[in-house]
Amino acid sequence: MSAKRPRTLKTVTGAGGTSETYDLAVDPTRSTLDTAVRVAKLAEAARIDALFTADLLSFDAQGAIGSQEPLVFVSALSQVTSRIGLIATVSTTFNHPFNLARLFGTLDHVSNGRAAWNLVTSSIGEENFGPGELPSPEDRYARAAETLEVVNALWDSWEPGALTVGADGKAVLHRDRVHPIHHSGRFFTVAGPLNIPPLPQRRPVQIQAGQSAAGTALGARYAEIVFTSLPTLDIAVDFTRKIRGQAERLGRAGGLPLIFSSFHATYGATEEEAQRLVRERREAIDFERGRAQVADMLGGGVDLSEVPLDATLPESLLPDIASVNRRRGRVDIFTGYARQGYTLRELVIAAQDTGHWAVAGTPEQLADAIEERFRAGVLDVISLGGLADPRLHDFVVNGLLHELRKRKIVADDYTGTTLRENLGLELPPRAGVLVQVGPETQTRS
């Protein structure tokens, strides 16, 4: 029996979703993939574990996020990389599980086992998938849960040994080991089986974004990794305790799901330089526009136009989270800030990081902050940005990553051939599929 690998922090960086997409789109000599290809190669050279593509389904909802379709984008990046993982953000609210199983299954094939799905339930975009309003969070998460049941059953509908190598080196299909799933639920009816070959990872890595009560319940049951906004250590500890407690009560292994945080870093060669950059960025904030940003962080529908910037928000303006239909986890964070006594000005400043973890300092000081969360067991995967910028690339790769590797927190190299292996994630048990045997039906695990 091999020894268990030491726990290490896994790293991710963004690919795409910047305003440079528009610059590339108007240049007939370049592809909108060009910057992402450069980032992907730099990230793989730095032995970062995965590339991440965000998505939004409305025009100009948050800059250029959503300006390229994530699955097509990372599929293209799979052809210019060989080891780095590929994370695509895709909504369950506006997609069918049979298509999702095929799309991510194909990504896993074309990348030789490097696919991951960042599942979201979408807080915007319903105007493009009408008719009808955005479903309630409870309905969105119920649909997400059923989607995962179907997708996992489809990926597991090919038994081990269903496709083997014949004497001539060609594939031999054993049809008796490929089974329908016969799913009939509230949202979907899917016969199955999946009509693409068994996947290199059997299942792509499953990430889930969301930290409302419904989102936490979904992540505790299904997610291997949860992507969350955890701006302070106390919030991170509380969230991790809650979601892992739920997961353990559901019979899942300890330490699951892994906790994935976005790290909004301001780098300086000295602490003074980092703090100067923070001040300059704050001085450039349009605080009148920031009112709308804070209103959005509070779920929308909140009029802050009459609140003085240096006043606190009256309780009457704070929403009842149960009545909010969008991003309840983010609303919870910002109503918490308001109740702690943040002024509107301070809320606008906090909104620049959209509720994510923000730290300023030298690479060593940033490594201290990361190590604190890692040692506390509330950080397993971290997103590091800035590789496309030469200055930030130097700080990330030769500064922060070098320091984290010196402390044995981040691994020096990839440890496997698939993303699942590199992340140290074991395969979950196979989904039971319904197998027709004569006139009767039985479940095969």
Predicted local distance difference test score (pLDDT) of residue 213: 86
How is the chain split among helix, strand and coil, in percent rounded to 5?
Answer: 40, 15, 45
Do the bridges between strand 183-184 and strand 189-190 make them parallel or antiparallel, or are there none, so unpaired? antiparallel
pLDDT at 3 (0 to 100)? 55
β-strand partners of 263: 357, 384
278 neighbors 360 (Cβ within 8 angstroms): yes
Reported in sequence order, the residue ranges of 185-304 that DSSP labels E, i.e. its strands, are 189-190, 205-209, 225-228, 258-267
CB atoms within 10 A of CB 13: 23
Question: From CA 181, how far away is CA 435, in angstroms rounded?
Answer: 7
Dihedral sign (CA 249, 6, 402, 413): negative
Annotate 155-184 with DSSP letters as a single string: HTSB-TTSEEE-TTSSEEE-GGGB----EE
Q: Looking at this protein, which amino acid is placed at residue 110?
A: V
Map tokens 């990348």 to a residue.
111
Q: In degrees rounded to 5, what are phi and psi of residue 48?
A: -75, 145
pLDDT value for 61 = 63
- Residue 189 is encoded by which pair of tokens? 């009816």
| Nearest of 334, 325, 272, 329 to residue 297 by alpha carbon | 334
| Token representation of residue 377 | 């067991």
Chain segment 21-57, per-residue pLDDT in tens = 888 889 999 998 999 999 999 999 999 999 999 988 8
Report the candidate in 124, 107, 131 with the shortest Cα–Cα distance to residue 51. 107
pLDDT of residue 440: 38
**For strand 258-267 and strand 225-228, is the pairing parallel, antiparallel, or unpaired?**
parallel
pLDDT of residue 432: 66
Q: State the first-to-last Cα distance of the chain, in angstroms, to the nearest integer.
A: 25
Lookup: tokens for 401: 């990553």
Annotate 427-438 with b (16+ C-beta within 10 A) or e (fewer): ebebbebbbeee
CA angle 215, 220, 224 (to 5 degrees): 105
Residue 291, pLDDT score: 93
* Contact of 248 with 254, CB cutoff 8 Å: yes
Give, to the nearest 10 degrees, the angle between helix 70-78 and helix 34-45: 60
The pTM score is: 0.91
Polymer length of the chain: 445
Instruction: Please write the tens of the pLDDT for every residue from 221-235.
Output: 999 999 998 999 999
pLDDT at 435: 38
pLDDT of residue 301: 79
Tally of CA atoms within 13 A in the half-sphere of 40 that contains its CB: 25
What's the confidence (pLDDT) of residue 250? 96
- Bridge partners, residue 178, by sequence: 158
Residues of the chain with pLDDT under 50: 1-2, 433-445
Rg (CA), the chain: 23
Cβ burial of 326 (10 Å; 0-12, 13-18, 19+) is: middle
Which tokens hold the place of 72?
Answer: 């097509």
**From its phi and psi, is residue 425 left (phi > 0), alpha (psi between -120 and 50) or beta?**
beta
